[in-house]
Structure 1
């Protein structure tokens, strides 16, 4: 980038804009989920599943990196430990139009341990910094890091600060911290999401020590209210399973968070009604969502896909709503049958609409 070049919008966002993000989750945040999530929120920053650099360099790039244009703002989470490969994969992803490259320094799965990347790299902060520097030299979009507070016997007070100091020196635009240790020996990936205790205070102190660096937090956040409380201390919040399993919470995000690329202000509730759980209540919104997802599913099926590829991400949509049980039953059973089409989606949504109408009439 030349000295007088216009700074990319996303770089500006990481210095000035509070961000709500949906965490990268293997097997969950695929392109079908992201299309669905974008129908619920325009302002949430979405992440891909972790994609290994070698898969981009050697695989079918259209398949590995393809996405619907509506998914923006969209970040690619990249796994690897070779600066040259990471830089080349980042350059390819930038050409595909991604808004950010995020380096995975937090996943504790057996797969990443065997490849010595993910959370293993908490023990190799110099390697992480080399990868960040190489990617920054290769692309103009933001390069960020998502890490743990430490692994195994590391002292998080030391390990986290060391990693952050090095990647900041290498030019990272932001650090997202999953506020738990990862135990590479003795705990499964699932247990690593729950058993190690959370240490939000350490992340808060890290931000206080680095006021000019974007620091976002991940891990254990369950509600939008909790997220907003964390924003008193930090620059961004990232929810994973909570946002996935209770996806209707995303309908309230735009009311509180600006758009991370354009800087468009938070929209407020704009007269729309919301439930106590933070779910949008106006029927027109949900009808439009049903129709959009039915059209999308029909297109996916026409291209050789199956309805369940799309609907498996939608099962948790109406948590706590009248008719939600029947909705889940339809998507869990009918959508998986051979030949299932978009009419199944209509039936599932109608189960909620009809139950809500009956309850309103009774009142």
Structure 2
């Protein structure tokens, strides 16, 4: 079995994001960084137990190191789902205690579990007993009228009784009443200092900082006093950000790709293999739209992919033509 602990250096991680961090997104991100730990979209425990597992959580070995996030609140079901995930080769199982969406709340999992730390503890115990890979938890500072000053420290104190040692803390409380998931990304205010205090009080735990980190620079500026950072939307919308991670976070001698053009070429083998399996080009390229964000030719790149990747029979040539559209602007 792969030594998970040796591969899971969580100094930098890419967040689990519903409808975004699917297998094609992760394969693309892996072209840009060899070292960052990548997380899947949340997979619901009962869906894995009763559904099409290869379709739901199948992945390419090139994505490693990759972790899976599970959603649920029944220890037995989560244990069964964890065993399935481990059998597929995931190096870490993460429990979602942070998502504020109505759909997640109706299933009694996600951020609403911040109110039930004993249940979270019991879920994690069951998960850890079911698998040999690390089990971790991603959570909020609190929810609704909870006082983060009390809730966060009490939650972690209880949950750590499970033996879990890695806590990924979204440094914002979630409002489950009256706010949409989108609004929950902006209010209430972030509190990175509270997460740093948690690490100071629990130095033997691995504490990762997540939430509202707008860029790699922002993450680097705020990571002091914690063990690592997790970027979400910034990594997705400006993926070239990831091309600096290996040198700046892990001390690698060089980055995997020197330019976005090299990154696209490095992704070619994966793209062509997926097209041969019948995957539509748009399902792959939708994750690449932000590759040139902030660089000359960004609009031409997005336009070329958006207009042509959805057409019947679209193939690798669409990407070649999109790069040709960018090159004049990039050369200026």
Regarding TM over 0.5, the answer is yes
- Distance apart, 1:290 and its partner CA: 2.1
Distance in structure 1 (CA, Å) of the matches to 2:326 and 2:7? 38
Match of 2:163 in 1: 171
Cα distance, 1:282 vs. partner? 3.7
**Does the residue aligned with 2:84 lie in a helix, a strand or coil?**
helix
Which string of whole-angstrom CA distances, capped at 9 and with x for unpartnered residues, describes residues 247-301 of structure 1? 000000000223xxxxxxx214x4x7xxxxxxx9845xx4442233333233222
- The question of whether the paired residues in 1 share the 8 Å contact of 2:257 and 2:263 is answered with no
| Residue number in structure 1 paired with 2:281 | 307
Inter-partner Cα distance in structure 1 for 2:291 and 2:299 = 11
2:32, 2:257 within 8 Å by CA — same for their partners in 1? Answer: no
- Correspondence for 1:136: 128
Of 276, 296, 309 in structure 2, the residue corresponding to residue 322 of structure 1 is 296
Give the structure-1-normalised TM-score.
0.87
State the shift of 1:12 in Å.
5.7
Give unmatched runs, 5+ long, in structure 1.
1-5, 259-265, 273-279
Distance 1:298 1:13, change over 3 A: closer
Please give the per-residue CA displacement for 1:126-166, whole angstroms capped at 9, x wherever unaligned.
Answer: 11000111111111111000000000011111111121112
Give the conservation status (yes or no) of the 8 Å contact 2:297–2:330.
yes
Give the distance between the partners of 1:23 and 1:126, measured in 2 at CA: 25
1:81 is aligned to 2:55 = no
What does 1:4-43 align with in structure 2 at a 5 Å threshold? 9-11=3-5, 17=9, 19-43=11-35
Task: Note the 1:1-363 alignment, pairs <5 A.
Answer: 9-11=3-5, 17=9, 19-258=11-250, 266-268=251-253, 270=254, 282-283=258-259, 286-357=260-331, 359=332
Change (3 A) 1:290 1:347: same
**In 1: Cα distance, 2:257 partner to 2:92 partner:** 33
Contact 1:34 1:71 in 2 (8 A): yes
| Contact in 1 for aligned 2:10/2:37 (Cα 8 Å) | no
| Distance of 1:288 and 1:55 partners within structure 2 | 38
Q: Displacement, 1:31?
A: 0.3
Asked if 1 retains the 8 angstrom alpha-carbon contact of 2:7 and 2:65, the reply is no
Distance in 2, matches of 1:318 and 1:79, equals 33
Give ranges in structure 2 of 5+ residues lacking alignment: none
The residue that corresponds to 1:277 in the other structure is: none
SS of structure 2 residue aligned to 1:39: helix
CA distance in 2, matches of 1:132, 1:18: 19
What is the RMSD of the two structures over their aligned residues, measured on CA atoms?
Answer: 1.8
Which stretch shifts more, 245-254 or 230-239? Answer: 230-239
In structure 2, distance between residues paired with 1:299 and 1:246: 25
Contact 2:172/2:190 (8 A) holds in 1: yes
Quickly say closer, same or farther: Cα 1:9–1:236, change in 2 above 3 A. farther
Q: TM-score, normalised by structure 2?
A: 0.95
> What do residues 19-78 of structure 1 show as CA deviations (whole Å, max 9, x unaligned)?
100100000000000000000000111000000000111111111120000100100000
Partner-residue secondary structure (3-state), 1:149: coil
Question: Counterpart of 1:262?
Answer: none
SS in 1 for 2:197: helix
- Are the equivalent residues in 2 in contact too, given 1:22–1:47 (CA < 8 A)? yes
SS in 2 for 1:346: helix
The 1:219–1:330 alpha-carbon spacing in structure 2 relative to 1, beyond 3 Å, is: same
CA contact (8 A) 1:90 1:135 kept: yes
